[in-house]
Amino acid sequence: MSLLTEPFQKHQQSVRIPLWREAALIREWVQLWAAPVFYGKGIPFGKAQAVITIPGFMCRDVYTNCLTKWLARIGYRAYPSGLERNNDCIERSLDRLLQTIETAATETNGKVHLIGHSLGGLLARIATARRPEFVASVITLGSPFRGIRAHSYVLWLSRRVRQRVQSADVPHCFTGYCDCASILALQKPWPQQVLNTAIYTRADGVVDWQMCVNEDPASNFEVSGTHVGLVFNPDVYRLIAGQLAQANGARIAPISQYRDR
């Protein structure tokens, strides 16, 4: 597939998007429990391959626990990220994530799949750029890897985090202007051997959805729903099952059948 060639837009920008509509995530959660995909119906199963779920900004692994347990039920060796809370210096968060990746790869004797929500998706992409030999595929869920264009409240929270984690040695920590190895890794070409899928929603009330898509339209999949509800969205679960099977070489119906549902 072709790769994202535009550089990461370093400057953070507030965008006017309706944060209030994120309350609709409750509907997605209810729909998931009623959906056949949640019970493993009509989807390909895994064969104990390692999958790591990575929560978004300010969240713990408990936020992606529903997704993690579902992955285990459909045949994967599912691992939480190991992050205490995703609100630390990117380098420190990445160190913890890489430890989880190496553990999962060792225990399953194979490459791992990474599924990251929002900031968790950026960490998944950075980890892949830094250690591509460990990664089989990456799925990002509403992850603004093109640049930070977000609701003003989200940017306010990120400034609070930056005040806590920055130091004289790294004054731009937690911004696009940081020159640490992790942020610089976002500029690297995507490793061709790693299957890359970006799932997004145009109704995103947290970040600008246009920052969450690859340059190659074949690797982008739009769903209906909220930003915070992407980890509970039944259409996302169907896409994940198909993408993981494709990355594992299974002969399945084309993943494109799940596009724009």
Model pLDDT, residue 88: 75
Task: Please tell me the number of Cα atoms within 13 Å of 230 on its side-chain side.
Answer: 35
Model pLDDT, residue 8: 62
Model pLDDT, residue 234: 97
Model pLDDT, residue 254: 40
How far is residue 136's CA from residue 79's CA, in Å, rounded to a whole number? 15
In angstroms, the first-to-last Cα distance of the chain is 22
- DSSP 8-state class, residue 148: E
Model pLDDT, residue 109: 96
Query: Which residues have CB under 8 Å from 176's CB, separation 6+?
Result: 8, 9, 10, 11, 12, 147, 148, 183
How far is residue 88's CA from residue 81's CA, in Å, rounded to a whole number? 14
Q: Which residue has the tokens 């299957």?
A: 195
| 115 DSSP β-pair partners | 53, 139
Model pLDDT, residue 158: 65
Model pLDDT, residue 111: 96
For the chain, 261 residues long, give each residue's pLDDT as a single digit of tens.
334 445 566 556 667 788 888 888 899 999 999 999 999 999 999 999 999 999 998 789 999 999 999 999 999 999 999 998 777 778 888 999 999 999 999 999 999 999 999 999 999 999 999 999 999 999 999 999 988 777 766 766 666 666 666 654 655 665 655 677 777 777 788 998 999 999 999 999 899 999 999 989 999 999 999 999 999 999 999 999 999 999 987 543 443 343 333
Model pLDDT, residue 164: 63
Q: Which domains does the chain have, with CATH numbers?
A: 9-258 (3.40.50.1820)
Model pLDDT, residue 182: 75
